[in-house]
Structure 1
Amino acid sequence: MQALEPVKPNKLVKPGHIEKREFEYTRHGTQALLAGMDVATGKIIPLIRDTRTEQDFADWLDLVLASDPKAAGWHLVMDQLNTHMSEAAVMKVAAIENTPANELGVKGKSGILKNMETRAAYLSDPSHKVVFHYTPKHASWLNQIEIWFSILVRRFLKRGIFTSTEDLKTRLHGFVDFFNERMAKPFKWTYRARPLQA
């Protein structure tokens, strides 16, 4: 997400005049949002960082797992981003599953860590306490956090003015807190598909 600030202030709505928004802006930097949604409550679990590395994703996994330490199991739905099939993610799940180090192998060479496919297969193992479910490519609509990202853009980012990355981060945490307290609820999908015709 970009911390953008207009070069000149926007002109607000007045009787007989529409709002005028400045199209030139100053870019103060970016922040990466890693977020997950508890589909039972609709609450968001965010992690905001300067980067989006596999270690950042592993730190976000720690947040998710700490949100309900007594959970019998976790089913995490996510896209096929490289960090979602990373060595750090495998190491987190391996620690929970007590997978022997010799089975893990060496990244890029052997074992579970050999490549993204072997790591994804390990992370998707349904016998694990933490199971990753990867959406097919071009199927983001299957992942409910993508619906929330749309809400985030429309209600927070689209008209936001941010003077720094710290301002963006602080206000984003405020928005997520507000959402979790006042707006969070499970999404109910109501679309009924038409039958396929040959």
Structure 2
Amino acid sequence: MDPQVDRQVPCCPRDLRLPDRADPVRPGPQTPPRPRLAHPPRRPGLPRQGRRGVRPLPALPTRVVLSVDEKTAMQARSRRHPTRPARPGHAERREFEYRRHGTASIVVALDVHNGQVLVEDIARNDSVTFIRFLRLLDGSIDPALAIHLVLDNGSSHVSKATRAWLAAHPRFTVHHTPKHASWLNQVEIFFSTLARRLLRRGEFTSRQDLIDQIREFTLAYDKEACPFRWTYDGTPLKAT
């Protein structure tokens, strides 16, 4: 009987034994097992990996991106007669005449990373009011974060007073949408949601009632907020 042949692969962490001569040879090409390293190479800057491995901690955010704009002249109105809700066999019936109770305006900042919004009611839409809102953002956001603002070209956003205030606060970086393209600002999506879910079918007995309902809607909205999936890639739109 022929003696067994024991071959070793040098410079390998574990022994790889070739089959004995007495073993039957399998048809087809045979690929030797790929040797494994005893210790995987360590990436620079990462902690040593243990038996289960250690995932690196995610990088802390260094900036916040806010989409900011105003929604003005929202009417606080109520129907002259109460709305009759829908029931089996009957559609909802709404009175077409209504009473006006004034208007309300708000300024909104939408965090594009988590979808949450901050809403403040305003009496006037001017640079003084807008700068006051910027001060509110400056004081309520972590000082370690830089603030990027996405704005349209409204008069309160490009006035001399606003530009001077922003120049004195380098923490803020402004990105303006193209002219006549304010719809590119993501906060407009929130305004559409607010109009469809509350303003269009709501009834408000006063201006303050309108503001209170907007605040309640915002609190409920922020509990389930999520960032919008932005799909517009800059391709020019064609009318159909």
Q: Does TM, normalized by the shorter one, top 0.5?
A: yes
Alignment of 1:1-198 (within 5 A): 1-96=74-169, 128-180=170-222, 182-190=223-231
What residue in structure 1 maps to residue 23 of structure 2? none
Q: Which amino acid counterpart does residue 138 of structure 2 have in structure 1? A: L
Structure with larger Rg: 2
User: Once the two structures are superposed, what CA deviation does each residue of 1:77-111 show, in whole Å capped at 9, x if it has no partner?
Assistant: 11111011123423432432xxxxxxxxxxxxxxx
Q: 1:86 to 1:71 in 2, by over 3 A?
A: farther
Structure 2: gaps (5+ residues): 1-73
User: Once the two structures are superposed, what CA deviation does each residue of 1:128-147 show, in whole Å capped at 9, x if it has no partner?
Assistant: 42121111123233211011
CA distance in 1, matches of 2:85, 2:130: 40
Q: Aligned-pair distance for 1:36?
A: 1.2
Q: Aligned-pair distance for 1:195?
A: 9.4
Q: Aligned-pair distance for 1:24?
A: 1.1
TM-score (norm 1): 0.75
Bigger RCO (CA 8 Å, 6+ sep): 1
CA distance in 2, matches of 1:172, 1:72: 28
Report the identity percentage. Answer: 42
Mapped contact 2:126–2:155 kept (Cα < 8 A): no
Q: Aligned-pair distance for 1:171?
A: 1.1
Q: Aligned-pair distance for 1:170?
A: 1.0
Q: How many residues align?
A: 164
Classify the secondary structure of the residue corresponding to 1:150.
helix
CA distance in 1, matches of 2:124, 2:236: 44
Q: Which amino acid counterpart does residue 97 of structure 2 have in structure 1? A: E
Aligned-residue Cα RMSD (Å) equals 2.1
